[in-house]
Amino acid sequence: MGAQMSKPKVYMTRRVPQEGMACVQNGADMEWWDGEEALPRSVLLEKVQDIDGLYCLLTDTIDVELLERAPRLRVISTMAVGTDHIDVAACTQRGIPVGHTPGALTETSADLAFALLMAAARRVVEGVDYVKAGHWKSWGPMLCLGQDIHGATLGIVGFGRIGRAVAARARGFGMQVLVSHSKPIPEELVAEYRIQQVNFSTLLQKSDFLSLHVPLTPHTRYLFGATEFRAMKPTAMLINTSRGGVVHSQALYEALRDGTIAYAALDVTDPEPLQMDDPLLTLSNCLVVPHIASASLATRTKIAMMAAENLLSGLAGQQVPYCINPEVYKENIRK
Ligand code: GLV
């Protein structure tokens, strides 16, 4: 083959930080969706028909229907750590490696989980609303009384990278940290983070704050529903920066409305985005931000680059560095 070999064809489903776009453009012939909103499904299904690589986001559903329309597709790279928007098993079955971005957003996501915890505990949003509404006439001995963070018990559900980073922050704030995790946590980690591993029901009963750090899987879908809320303290505050589907939205609404639990601070919702008529938005004890846990300029730039490198490595026939389905490289997988 001559030097004129054409570059692989890639589609990017949204504009990402410039460094990431430039990196892909260096190694591929790239088209992208330039809209402000998420790419319509119909456009995605049309665009995948003749591409070699797909650079996607967590707002894109990558399923069998899409894969069947993409006979040339060799690599998928998502600019996210969570891959629940991708049918990974179907990709593996077709020999398609899927890249993602573990590690790069850990600290930034933990920062937001902690920011939500603090905002919930200290009623920051209500305070802001109170001032803006012109109600602030004098200092008040009973005004905006919240909960102490120091000395409180934080329950962390899931002790992966982000769960651990939240535990480190909690330690610095003088909290006691309980963790429920699917496997026994090694002694060294228990000592390093000064946590106590407990079972899920103990965690529900004892925690003043609960922060969720599990991926969305069939096992974790609706992990929190009416039964779990009833097991929690009525003063408990739920922080969710994982995936909306881990919490049953209607049950959460009812638990907040009825005072079964005190407060929820959500970076993720189900559905996402929330519609303006969603009952959760009528509650004064529910704070919602628009899925921004990894949204610092530095981190989004880093993950945009990481996703670009995953994609280009795969297209160059190398192993995708951060691959969620490395079994795709085993010999007996269909290529
Ligand atoms: C964000 O939610 C991510 O999965 O990267």
- The Å distance, Cα 265 to ligand 1 centre, comes to 17
Is pTM beyond 0.85 here?
yes
> Which ligand 1 atom sits closest to the C-alpha of 78?
5
In a domain, 227, yes or no: yes
Ranges of residues in the chain whose predicted pLDDT is under 50? 1-2, 335
> Which ligand 1 atom sits closest to the C-alpha of 82?
4
- The Å distance, Cα 131 to ligand 1 centre, comes to 33
188 in the same domain as 64 = no
Mean pLDDT estimate for the chain: 96
Active site residue 15: no
In a domain, 37, yes or no: yes
Instruction: Count the domains in the chain.
Output: 2
Strand partners, 177: 154, 195
- The Å distance, Cα 3 to ligand 1 centre, comes to 39
- Residue 305 near ligand 1, beta carbon < 6 Å: no
Residue nearest to atom 4 of ligand 1 (CA): 82
Domain interval for residue 53: 9-104+297-329
In a domain, 3, yes or no: no
235 in the same domain as 158 = yes
126 in the same domain as 71 = no
**Annotated catalytic residue, options 243, 248, 300, 309:** 243
Alpha carbons 312 and 199: distance in angstroms, whole number:
43
237 in the same domain as 148 = yes
CATH code (residue 59): 3.40.50.720
| Cis upstream peptide for 273 (omega within 30°) | yes
Question: Helices in the chain by DSSP H: which ranges?
Answer: 18-27, 41-47, 64-68, 88-93, 106-121, 124-132, 161-172, 187-193, 200-206, 226-231, 249-257, 297-315
188 in the same domain as 202 = yes
Active site residue 14: no
Eight-state DSSP code of residue 141: T
Q: What would the DSSP string read from start to end of 100-112? A: --TTTTHHHHHHH
In a domain, 41, yes or no: yes
Q: Is there a contact between 116 and 265 (Cβ–Cβ < 8 Å)? A: yes
Of 138, 119, 84, the closest CA to residue 265 belongs to 119
Check residue 5 and give its pLDDT: 73
In a domain, 65, yes or no: yes
Mutate to test the pocket of ligand 1, among 105, 112, 299, 300 (most ligand atoms within 8 A of CB): 105
- Residue 81 near ligand 1, beta carbon < 6 Å: yes
- Residue 80 near ligand 1, beta carbon < 6 Å: yes
In a domain, 135, yes or no: no
- The Å distance, Cα 290 to ligand 1 centre, comes to 12
267 in the same domain as 223 = yes
149 in the same domain as 81 = no
Q: What would the DSSP string read from start to end of 142-207? A: TTT----STTPEEEEE--SHHHHHHHHHHHHTT-EEEEE-SSPPPHHHHHHHTEEE--HHHHHHH-
262 in the same domain as 302 = no
250 in the same domain as 172 = yes
- Residue 244 near ligand 1, beta carbon < 6 Å: no
Q: Is there a contact between 69 and 47 (Cβ–Cβ < 8 Å)? A: no
262 in the same domain as 160 = yes
Check residue 335 and give its pLDDT: 47
Check residue 332 and give its pLDDT: 53
- Residue 56 near ligand 1, beta carbon < 6 Å: no
Active site residue 188: no
In a domain, 319, yes or no: yes
- The Å distance, Cα 110 to ligand 1 centre, comes to 12
223 in the same domain as 123 = yes
Residue nearest to atom 1 of ligand 1 (CA): 80
Check residue 2 and give its pLDDT: 44
The C-alpha torsion from 169 through 170 and 173 to 175, rounded to 10°, is -170
Residue nearest to atom 5 of ligand 1 (CA): 80
119 in the same domain as 84 = no
In a domain, 98, yes or no: yes
